Amino acid sequence: MTNIPNTAPPEAYGKDSDEWSIRVLLPAARLEHFIVRKQAVEPLSTIAVIDTETTGTDPARDQIIDLAYVILRVDAVGDIIDVIAARQALCDPGMPIPSRVRLLTGLTDADLRGKSIDLDLVEQDFGQVDVFIAHNAAFDLSFLRHLLPCTTGSAWACSLSDFDWLADAQLDGRALGHLLYQIGFYNSGHRALADVISLIHLLAYPLPTGQPVLGALLANAARRSFRVEATRAPFDTRSILKARGYRWDARHKVWCIEVSEQNLDAEILWIERHVTPFGPAPRVTPITWHQRHR
């Protein structure tokens, strides 16, 4: 027998034992395992869980090389009633894959050579979708709107920013793989379909209320919010704006934040007191999931 030295931190052991506390992770489940056999709660909706792998992060220059999506029929609670379609397609970018992308995805130039996405099929599938879901929707949407303009005005929900994993699910962190580990699963590889299936595991995860994450995510994303712009904010207020959560919109050259309807009046008052006490008034724009993440 080989003796393993006791080099693990104390938290790796059971409370009253010298034995290691071991957690077993299960491989990702098959899609059909997520179907809930029950009387569906009306109304039903059609959801597309989607992911892209790309040659880089700039949608104006880089391209999608791996596109995957699973289309689900979901009831009003957020339970998955049926799996309508599961697709994955590779696309030749017409250039060598950057080394970091190759290391991340495992895809090679040979894997992609001559491959293309059947856009007619994808558009046909997307024509039945009520809401798209992605983990970091702003990234995927920025690429998809170039490839498939039909996605631009669609309703989108982001599992990264439209749901509070810590407060509502008692899961720390936001990275997809890390969240998946915490609910007891693992997935091999960083490919688009693997990431979609990983995300479906998280969307089906039951909250303490019994509702799946998917139901809470859709409810959050469906609520109207407001973009508040600190119009003509003085340069020396940038530090307090950043500390409050404002971000710099380089395209429109303005500091902005997105707030809920119940926090709107307080946000306007804060700007008028601390940023532009002598005007102008902040610009306020209502946002729905048809405009968010653009």
Please report whether residue 164 resides in a domain.
Answer: yes
The answer to whether residue 17 sits within a structural domain is: no
- Mean pLDDT value across the chain: 92
The H helix count followed by the E strand count for the chain is: 10, 11
pLDDT in tens, 108-126: 999 999 999 999 999 999 9
Phi-psi region of 150 (alpha: psi -120 to 50; beta: other; left: phi over 0): alpha
Q: Exposure pattern of 7-33 as b/e (b: 16+ CB <10 Å)?
A: eeeeeeeeeeeeeeeeeeeeebeeeee
pTM of the model: 0.88
Output the pLDDT for position 11.
52
Last-in-domain residue among 192, 222, 252: 222
Same domain (yes/no): 231, 212: no
Do residues 44 and 179 share a domain? Answer: yes
- Domain contains 63: yes
The answer on 73 and 188 residing in a single domain is yes
Domain limits for position 196: 26-222
Whether 176 is in a domain gets the answer yes
Taking alpha carbons only, the member of 172, 206, 175, 181 closest to residue 80 is: 206
As for how many domains the chain has, the answer is 2
Q: Report d(CA 269, CA 246) in Å as an integer.
A: 15
* Residue positions counted in the chain: 294
Final residue before a domain boundary, out of 189, 222, 255: 222
Residues 40 and 150 both lie in one domain: yes
Averaged pLDDT for residues 39-47? 97
Is residue 132 in a domain? yes
pLDDT at 23: 84
75-100 pLDDT, tens digit per residue, is 999 999 999 999 999 999 999 999 99
